[in-house]
Structure 1
Amino acid sequence: MDKIKVLNISELENNQSTVVNVNDKEIAVFNVEGEFFAIDDRCSHSDESLSEGEVYDCKVECPAHGAEFDLKTGEALTPPASKSVSCYQTSTDDSSIYIEVETNA
């Protein structure tokens, strides 16, 4: 696993989200009350951008059909999604947000 800097903390305001591209993969990064989470950006049901969904209770709701995903685990919590999305470990230092991703061999 590689730890890759994806953003400066100052770039992602509280209760906001954005998409970063890591190794040709779109990853949604969420700031929830100062805690950072990262999951695949595409809904497993409708291929919509999860970073554009509503966030509450550490879950994101897909903007297309309302499927909910747990930001801590990537688990699909409600229909119509039944397949989880990948979840990535995040960490921070004084100024940066990092995501752990598989290295390309």
Structure 2
Amino acid sequence: MGFEKVCAADEVPVDEALAVTVGDLELAIARDGEELFALQNVCSHAEVALSEGEVADGTVECWLHGSCFDLRTGKPTHLPATEPVATFAVEVRDGDVYVDATEALNGVRPS
């Protein structure tokens, strides 16, 4: 499978996330400043879209209960979530965002 184009980099708003689909996975492409990250688009605490949450200081916050997840590791940084979400490799090529969703970087199996 390898890297697949998921969106244009300028489609991802600063300090926000964009929902995309790669195969059968729902992912959130998050922009923290100039950096882009890909993570599973579902909170591990309450199954809601992380792409609808706020992105700041290297984390994304779930809008429902306030769980936060590290964009690099997927680990929860704020309760009530205690389980990590899957993170994936991202590359930007010629203004487009590519994600390799074949295997999570952090070893977490997407639900």
Could you tell me the TM-score, scaled by structure 1's length?
A: 0.90
Once the two structures are superposed, the pairs formed by residues 35-46 of structure 1 within 5 Å of their partners are 35-46=35-46
Question: Could you tell me whether the CA contact under 8 Å between 2:31 and 2:55 is conserved in 1?
Answer: no
The CA RMSD measured in Å over matched residues stands at 1.4
Letter in 2 for 1:27: L
2-side partners of 1:68 and 1:10: how far apart?
A: 24
Deviates more, 1:25-34 or 1:8-17: 8-17
Question: Could you tell me whether the CA contact under 8 Å between 2:16 and 2:53 is conserved in 1?
Answer: no
Tell me the residue number matched to 2:70. 70
1:30 correspondence with 2:30: yes
> What secondary structure, in the 3-state scheme, does the structure 1 residue paired with 2:69 have?
strand
The Cα offsets for residues 44-89 of structure 1, whole Å up to 9 and x where unpaired, read as 0000111111111010111111111001111112221110000011
2-side partners of 1:55 and 1:11: how far apart?
A: 15
Tell me the residue number matched to 1:94. 94
> What secondary structure, in the 3-state scheme, does the structure 2 residue paired with 1:36 have?
strand
Question: Could you tell me whether the CA contact under 8 Å between 2:28 and 2:50 is conserved in 1?
Answer: yes
Question: Could you tell me whether the CA contact under 8 Å between 2:91 and 2:99 is conserved in 1?
Answer: yes
Tell me the residue number matched to 1:55. 55
Tell me the residue number matched to 1:2. 2
Letter in 2 for 1:13: P
| CA apart distance, 1:37 | 0.5
| CA apart distance, 1:16 | 2.6
Question: Could you tell me whether the CA contact under 8 Å between 2:31 and 2:37 is conserved in 1?
Answer: yes
Count of residues in Structure 1 that have an aligned counterpart in Structure 2 = 103
Letter in 2 for 1:56: A
